[in-house]
């Protein structure tokens, strides 16, 4: 209905303008009406995408499926072993607003380097986003959390290995969308670990792990590949 009303408004405005301008330029009102109408319609379509860089700012409910949580399997690699990072589009680039947090390209690893798989206990794997910074300097903190069972040899050794190194972490949300924590400027760094064998038999024997990074947006969406074989 809004589009029909806008179209009618353009036609009425073009008709009035054509009648008003015709005597001054000695051109038939019909020709002027056709020209004004066509130009106005084209401008109404093209200007928002060319000037604003987006087709629409309407924030609508697009789908009804919206499950929470993340997959128990997640992926990680060492930040300094990434050769090329996927990138976010420039904020002023032409394109829909729903592409502004979508990464372009895939992770390319240095020779002999790769991604690895991680495991998190059901209902503990999560990606969280916090807006940080003062007015006019806003950015985002991207946070990955999970619990891993059994503070045994493998987990203890892994935590020692990563505690002072930056990572890149990819987690799939409940819809299967991959979210990335860590980018070319800021790796995902170990922020907190609480590990316990538990005091009682019915306590959890686990480590609760948190990694944090910073980004221009909530943890961006990744549609590229994740390679678990060494790069050549």
* Of 215, 136, 141, residue with least CA distance to 183: 215
Whether the CB-CB separation of 219 and 127 falls below 8 Å is answered with yes
Q: What is the DSSP letter of 99?
A: G
The pTM for the full model equals 0.76
CA–CA distance, 7 with 92 (Å, rounded to integer): 28
CA–CA distance, 120 with 104 (Å, rounded to integer): 27
**The length of the chain, given as a count of residues:** 232
Say what the pLDDT of residue 62 is.
Answer: 73
Other Cβ atoms less than 10 A from the Cβ of 130: the count is: 12
Residue 177 Ramachandran class (φ > 0 left, ψ -120 to 50 alpha, else beta) = beta
* Of 144, 128, 143, 121, residue with least CA distance to 71: 121
Beta strands, E only, 63-177: 70-78, 82-84, 108-109, 116-119, 126-132, 139-149, 167-173
Residue 209 Ramachandran class (φ > 0 left, ψ -120 to 50 alpha, else beta) = beta
Other Cβ atoms less than 10 A from the Cβ of 222: the count is: 22
What does the buried/exposed string (b/e) look like for 173-193 if buried means 16 or more CB atoms within 10 Å of the residue's CB?
A: beeeebbbbbbeebbbbbeeb
Say what the pLDDT of residue 54 is.
Answer: 46
CA–CA distance, 78 with 109 (Å, rounded to integer): 10
CA–CA distance, 167 with 208 (Å, rounded to integer): 17
Residue 175 Ramachandran class (φ > 0 left, ψ -120 to 50 alpha, else beta) = alpha
Say what the pLDDT of residue 93 is.
Answer: 82
Q: Which two tokens stand for residue 97?
A: 């607003």
**How would you write the pLDDT of the chain (232 residues) with one tens digit per residue?**
545 645 566 666 676 666 766 677 777 767 666 776 766 666 555 544 444 444 567 888 877 788 999 999 999 999 999 999 999 999 988 778 889 999 999 999 999 999 999 999 999 999 999 999 999 999 999 999 999 999 899 999 999 999 999 999 999 999 999 999 999 999 999 999 999 999 999 999 999 999 999 999 999 999 999 999 999 9
């Amino acid at each position: 209905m809004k589009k029909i009303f806008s179209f009618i408004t353009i036609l009425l405005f073009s008709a009035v303008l054509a009648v008003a301008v015709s005597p001054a330029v000695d051109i038939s009102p019909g020709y002027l009406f056709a020209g004004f109408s066509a130009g106005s319609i084209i401008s109404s379509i093209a200007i928002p995408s060319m000037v604003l860089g987006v087709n629409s700012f309407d924030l609508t409910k697009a789908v009804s499926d919206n499950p929470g949580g993340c997959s128990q399997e997640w992926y990680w690699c060492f930040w300094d072993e990434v050769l090329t990072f996927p990138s976010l589009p420039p904020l002023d680039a032409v394109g829909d607003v729903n592409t502004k947090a979508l990464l372009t390209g895939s992770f390319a690893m240095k020779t002999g380097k790769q991604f690895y798989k991680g495991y998190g206990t059901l209902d503990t794997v999560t990606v969280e986003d916090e807006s940080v910074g003062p007015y006019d300097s806003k950015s985002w903190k991207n946070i990955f959390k999970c619990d891993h069972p059994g503070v045994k040899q493998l987990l203890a050794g892994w935590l020692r290995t990563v505690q002072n190194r930056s990572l890149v972490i990819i987690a799939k949300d409940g819809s299967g969308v991959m979210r990335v924590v860590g980018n070319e400027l800021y790796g995902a760094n170990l922020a907190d670990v609480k590990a316990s064998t538990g005091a009682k038999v019915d306590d959890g024997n686990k480590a609760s792990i948190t990694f944090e990074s910073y980004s221009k947006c909530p943890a961006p969406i990744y549609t590229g590949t994740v390679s678990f074989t060494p790069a050549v």
